[in-house]
Amino acid sequence: MSMPTSFLMLQAASFGMSVLDRFQTQRDQTAAVYAKYDQAQRQVATNNGLNYNSKIHLNEVQMLETEKAQITTTMLLRAIRSADATERVLIESQGGNSTMGSGAARLRNLQRQGSEAVNRKDFNFQLTLNDLNRRRKNIDLETMSANNRAFTGLQTPPGSTGLVFDVAGLAISNYSKVGYYTSSDGNIKSRFDS
């Protein structure tokens, strides 16, 4: 039994269209994967920019806090020197040995209180610096987390091996349609056997 040429051409056209469809599907899937990668890269760039801006802000805060601490220290040291000078004038104006002992104690007490005030101020400044450093670390951790979220769920582009096997499966399927048929008695027969 001879197979009509029009049937073979129709099957060949069908096979060709299916192959083209598979190629286009792979191109579309590849483009979609790369679009998601591009979107993730843009999000990471935005996250990194926000990180940078946040750190610039914290650096400005640190500069202002440092300047404030420096002014406060200078003011404290001036107040200590002024109080010391005032106390020395009082001691000199009172005169006498018994007064000198209590005056010296007042001077020591004044120096101790001034030193404690400077130390408290330095301690508070150190706490502020530690807080700013923790905030920088938190910004880095938040950025890393956001960047990880941006890349979560990304797929690799489809490989050409899968496409080759898909086209081979189509070829086998089309050959089966063209080369075999079911006879009226229900048996599968080859179209190429005469």
For 156, the 3-state DSSP assignment is coil
Average pLDDT over the chain, rounded to whole?
A: 84
Cα–Cα–Cα angle for 37, 135, 39, rounded to 5 degrees: 10
Q: Which residues contact 80 (CB under 8 A, 6 or more apart)?
A: 110, 111, 114, 117, 118
pLDDT of res. 75: 86
Q: Which of 169, 170, 179 is nearest to 18 (CA)?
A: 170
Threshold 0.75, pTM exceeds: no
Q: Which of 122, 145, 121 is nearest to 48 (CA)?
A: 145
- What are the pLDDT digits (tens) for 12-63? 788 888 889 889 999 999 999 999 999 999 999 999 999 999 999 999 999 9
- What are the pLDDT digits (tens) for 60-92? 999 999 988 888 888 888 888 888 888 877 777
User: What dihedral angle (degrees, nearest 10) is formed by the CA atoms of 105, 111, 112, 118?
Assistant: 170
Residue 181 pairs in a beta bridge with 189
Cα–Cα–Cα angle for 180, 185, 187, rounded to 5 degrees: 35
Q: Which of 151, 169, 180 is nearest to 36 (CA)?
A: 151
pLDDT of res. 101: 65
| CB 167, CB 25: distance < 8 Å | no
